[in-house]
Amino acid sequence: MMKKKVVVACAGAVATSTVVEKKILKLCEKNGIDIEICQVRISEIETNLTHAKLLVTTSKIKKDYGVPHIVGMPFISGIGVEKAEQEIIKILCE
């Protein structure tokens, strides 16, 4: 089966998105979902969305990119982690 592409974006593509990326990788591994993560800056989202199943951002985005979007904030704040995890699994298993 082909890996599912997840785009994770934050302001600098260095910090918060990497923290979120690691947590999503762990989650998917645990649930047997094979993913490939593409880590970008918010400004680079558009050019990296081809074939993406899911977009996760740590900052707010105003635009609808036509790809299911989840805010990765729960992975930073610890609030609502379970709900975010379930949503991610649901989107990726569809």
Partner 1 sequence: MLWNELDKDLIFVNLKIEEKEELLRNLCKTLEQKGYVKETFAEAVLEREQQFPTGVWVGDVGVALPHSVAEHVCTSKIAIAVLEQPVFFHQMDAEQTIPVQVIFLLAIAENEKHLLCLEQLVELIQDTDVMKRIIQAKNADEILQIIRKKENV
Residues annotated as part of the active site: 10
CA angle, corner 40, sides to 35 and 41, nearest 5? 150
List Cβ neighbours of 90 (8 Å cut-off, separation of 6 or more): none
Contact 55, 65 (CB under 8 A): yes
Shortest reach from residue 51's CB to partner 1, in Å: 25
Q: Which is nearer to partner 1, 5 or 23 (CB)?
A: 23
Q: Which residues in 13-42 contact partner 1 (CB under 8 A)?
A: 14-16, 18-19, 22, 42
Of the candidate residues 3, 29, 34, 59, the single one contacting partner 1 (CB under 8 A):
59
Note the residues at the interface with partner 1 (CB under 8 A). 10-12, 14-16, 18-19, 22, 42, 57-60, 71-73, 75-79
